[in-house]
Structure 1
Amino acid sequence: MYNLLSDLSIIEVSSFVASPTAGLYCAQLGAEVIRIDHKAGGLDYDRYMLTEEGRSLSWENLNRAKKSVALDLRSGEGRELCVELAAKTGQCITNLPEKSFLSHAAMKAAQAALGPEGAPDMTSVRIMGWHDGRQAMDFTVNAASGYPLMTGPEDWDMQTAPPVNQVLPAWDFITGAYCAFALMAALRHRDAGGQGSEVRVPLGDVAIGTVANSGMMAEMLFRGADRQRLGNAIWGAFGRDFRSKDGVRFMVAALTAKQWDGLVKAFGLEVPIGQLEVEVGVTFADGDDPRFKHRHRLFDLFQRVAGSHDYAALESLMSAHGCTFEKYRTAHEAANDPVLVADNPLFGPSPANPSGFEYPAARSFANFPAQEAGDPAPAPYLGQHSEEVLAERLGLSSGAIGKLVDAGTVALSDANRN
Structure 2
Amino acid sequence: MNASTATAPGPLQGLKIVEMGQLIAGPFAAKTLGDLGADVIKIEPPEGGDPLRQWRLIKDGTSVWWQVQSRNKRSIALDLRQPEGQAIARELIAQADVLVENFRPGTLEAWGMDYASLASTNPGLILLRISGYGQTGPYRDKPGFGVIGEAMGGLRHLTGEPGRVPVRCGVSIGDTLASLHGVIGILAALHHRQATGRGQVVDVALHEAVFNVMESLLPEYSAFGTVREPAGSALPGIAPSNAYRCQDGQVLVAGNGDSIFKRLMVAIGRPDLAERPDLASNTGRVASVAEIDGAIGHWTGERTVNEVLAALDAAQVPVGRIYTARDIAEDPHYRARDMILTQRTREGYEVEVPGIVPKLSVTPGGIRSPAPRLGEDTDAVLRELGHTDEQIAALRARGLIR
TM > 0.5 fold call: yes
Instruction: Give the CA deviation at 1:344.
Output: 3.6
Task: Return the alpha-carbon distance in structure 1 between the equivalents of residues 91 and 401 of structure 2.
Answer: 14
Instruction: Give the CA deviation at 1:371.
Output: 4.5
Q: 5+ residue gaps in structure 1?
A: 412-418
Q: Once the two structures are superposed, what CA deviation does each residue of 1:313-353 show, in whole Å capped at 9, x if it has no partner?
A: 222111111110111233x3234322354444222222x21
Give the 3-state SS of the residue equivalent to 1:360 in structure 2. Answer: strand
- Out of 336, 340, 349, the residue aligned to residue 342 of structure 2 is 349
Name 1:65's counterpart in structure 2. Answer: 72
Name 1:321's counterpart in structure 2. Answer: 315
Aligned partner letter, 2:299: V
CA distance 1:228–1:12, shift in 2 (3 Å) = closer
What aligned pairs does 1:140-151 form with structure 2 within 5 A after superposition?
Answer: 140-151=148-159
- Out of 55, 61, 85, the residue aligned to residue 48 of structure 1 is 55
What aligned pairs does 1:16-415 form with structure 2 within 5 A after superposition?
Answer: 16-101=23-108, 106=114, 108-109=116-117, 112=120, 119=122, 121-131=124-134, 132=137, 133=140, 134-153=142-161, 156-157=162-163, 161-211=164-214, 214-237=215-238, 238-244=240-246, 246-274=247-275, 277=276, 282-286=277-281, 288-330=282-324, 332-339=325-332, 341-350=334-343, 352-371=344-363, 373-375=365-367, 377-392=369-384, 394-411=385-402
| Kept in 1: contact 2:11–2:363 (CA 8 A) | no
CA distance 1:101–1:221, shift in 2 (3 Å) = closer
**TM-score normalised to structure 1 length:** 0.85
| Kept in 2: contact 1:87–1:107 (CA 8 A) | no
Instruction: Give the CA deviation at 1:166.
Output: 2.1
CA distance 1:252–1:346, shift in 2 (3 Å) = same
Give the 3-state SS of the residue equivalent to 1:336 in structure 2. Answer: helix
Higher relative contact order (CA 8 A, sep 6+): 2
Give the 3-state SS of the residue equivalent to 1:162 in structure 2. Answer: coil
Task: Return the alpha-carbon distance in structure 2 between the equivalents of residues 101 and 149 of structure 1.
Answer: 33
Taking only the aligned residue pairs, the percentage that are identical comes to 23
Q: Once the two structures are superposed, what CA deviation does each residue of 1:273-323 show, in whole Å capped at 9, x if it has no partner?
A: 54xx3xxxx43232x211122111011111222122233322211111111
Instruction: Give the CA deviation at 1:43.
Output: 4.6
CA distance 1:204–1:358, shift in 2 (3 Å) = same
CA distance 1:25–1:104, shift in 2 (3 Å) = farther
Instruction: Give the CA deviation at 1:105.
Output: 5.1
Give the 3-state SS of the residue equivalent to 2:204 in structure 1. Answer: strand
CA distance 1:363–1:333, shift in 2 (3 Å) = closer
Task: Return the alpha-carbon distance in structure 1 between the equivalents of residues 274 and 256 of structure 2.
Answer: 17
**TM-score normalised to structure 2 length:** 0.89
Task: Return the alpha-carbon distance in structure 1 between the equivalents of residues 356 and 133 of structure 2.
Answer: 29
CA distance 1:50–1:307, shift in 2 (3 Å) = closer
Query: Pairwise CA RMSD of aligned residues?
Result: 2.3
Equivalenced residue count is: 388
Q: 5+ residue gaps in structure 2?
A: 1-5
Task: Return the alpha-carbon distance in structure 1 between the equivalents of residues 350 and 389 of structure 2.
Answer: 34
Task: Return the alpha-carbon distance in structure 1 between the equivalents of residues 367 and 23 of structure 2.
Answer: 25
| Kept in 1: contact 2:104–2:143 (CA 8 A) | no
CA distance 1:191–1:126, shift in 2 (3 Å) = same
Aligned partner letter, 1:239: S
Task: Return the alpha-carbon distance in structure 1 between the equivalents of residues 20 and 132 of structure 2.
Answer: 16
| Kept in 2: contact 1:60–1:354 (CA 8 A) | no
Aligned partner letter, 2:260: Q
Q: Once the two structures are superposed, what CA deviation does each residue of 1:20-62 show, in whole Å capped at 9, x if it has no partner?
A: 1110111111010111111124453344214243202222211
Instruction: Give the CA deviation at 1:223.
Output: 3.0
Q: Once the two structures are superposed, what CA deviation does each residue of 1:159-218 show, in whole Å capped at 9, x if it has no partner?
A: xx322222221121111011111111112212211112122211122223333xx12111
Instruction: Give the CA deviation at 1:10.
Output: 0.9
| Kept in 2: contact 1:69–1:383 (CA 8 A) | yes
Aligned partner letter, 2:361: P
Name 2:3's counterpart in structure 1. Answer: none
Aligned partner letter, 2:279: F
| Kept in 2: contact 1:47–1:56 (CA 8 A) | yes
Task: Return the alpha-carbon distance in structure 1 between the equivalents of residues 184 and 37 of structure 2.
Answer: 15
| Kept in 2: contact 1:24–1:63 (CA 8 A) | yes
Give the 3-state SS of the residue equivalent to 2:52 in structure 1. Answer: coil
